[in-house]
Amino acid sequence: MKKKKYPGHSYPLFAEASAVLPRPANHLPTLIKYTRGSRIYDFDNNAFTDYTLGQGAIILGHNNRIAALAAKKAADQGIFFSSFSRDTVSLAKEIKKHFPAIEKIQLTSSEEKARRLAMTLARMNRKKELIVSLDQASPLNSSSNILHLPWGDWNAVTLELRRHAAALAAIILTPVAFTRQGFASVDSNFLNTLTTLSREHGFYIIFDEIATGFREGLGGWQTAHHFQPDLTCLGRIIGGGFSLGAVGGKAEILDAFVLPGIPNPVVAKTGLAILRQLTPPVYAKLNTTAENFTAALNSFWEEKKMLPRLTRFGSMLGFIPETIDDNEYAAFVARAWTNNIILPAKAAEPFYFSLSHTRAEIQTLKQTLQSAALV
């Protein structure tokens, strides 16, 4: 891989950007010119192998040729419609095909708006205000009508649900969380109890599958585990990386009110092009690659009697937070950067494999992490 050529154009351009824009969360001290496949390129034509991939949304790799051509074709026909486009209908049907719990879908302009819309639908339909939100970390914003509870403390959550059941409109949770001990799925016994309580007291179950939808396989965690929530939130992966969210669920919930939001035909056509390329063989390759990578590194560290350990969900990977501290992870990021590899800025953030990552690139990442651990 070509090594970074500095000084050059990218650093001055980055300094110019920093004068008018906040520093990006991805910590890259350079300005991006274009992307292709597994790599991003700066204005000095330095190539960086990217494992952040738009927080997992770029599952096939950057600038997928079929999706890019679809986006250009859609843009030629218009970028704003005041009603549904054919591709919006096709995208909704494609998503619905893989989610048995979804009867109708409302697209939104962002993931956060999808979450908010799901909660609004629950409140309007149930005529109650309280939402229970299961969180992996302390929420940045609190509200008197949102009760934040810790994801994973199932007994405590059950007690609170019973206590507030009469006022409860819905509970929202992700079925898979990146915990201190690694990726973990929601407890099956808790789901059974939750289903019983929701039926008894009339509140909705909302699954936040923004991170998990279409990441491990066609559909979401709910599809693989045969669970049907009342509402489901999905994110940018259904838009091919464009800002897009969706709320899907029972028709009676979504039909009860006139909903805001006008679908973007360019985003819909791009997302449809991506989803139609996702097949069982694609997921088999991605998941097997991630499984072998995780096993190889964990075996290496165990043999060396070193503590770092990896965890994964499908092709989403991460360092188990309780096995690595901030300084140790910073050393991994720094070593990766010297090899033109981009990892998330924080250990609490997962990294991702795409279909565009080659065996050689993944082998380089493995050798980089091994060498960083030995320093």
Answer yes or no: are the C-beta atoms of 174 and 123 closer than 8 Å.
no
**Averaged pLDDT of the chain:** 92
- Helix and strand numbers (H, E) in the chain are 12, 16
CA pair distance 358, 353, nearest whole angstrom:
10
pLDDT (mean) for 171-193: 97
Place of tokens 């597994």: 38
Same domain, 151 and 234: yes
In one letter, which amino acid is 96?
A: K
Place of tokens 């990892």: 343
The DSSP symbol for 364 reads: H
Same domain, 46 and 72: no
Share above pLDDT 90 across residues of the chain, in percent, rounded to a whole number: 81
pLDDT (mean) for 20-38: 83
pLDDT tens digits along 226-235: 999 999 999 9
Q: Is residue 58 part of a domain?
A: no
pLDDT tens digits along 136-171: 876 656 677 999 999 999 999 999 999 999 999 999
pLDDT (mean) for 342-369: 96
Domain count across the chain: 3
Same domain, 268 and 367: no
pLDDT tens digits along 252-282: 999 987 766 666 899 999 999 999 999 999 9
Same domain, 188 and 311: no
Same domain, 309 and 372: yes
In one letter, which amino acid is 343?
A: L
* Domain finish residue from 257, 275, 293: 275
Q: Which domain holds residue 31?
A: 1-50
CATH number of residue 353's parent domain: 3.90.1150.10
* Domain finish residue from 251, 275, 299: 275
Q: Is residue 255 part of a domain?
A: yes
Same domain, 289 and 370: yes
Same domain, 31 and 168: no
Dump the DSSP string for 40-72: EEETT--EEEESSTTTTT-TT-BT-HHHHHHHH
Q: Is residue 208 part of a domain?
A: yes
Answer yes or no: are the C-beta atoms of 203 and 168 closer than 8 Å.
yes
Instruction: Give the global pTM.
Output: 0.93
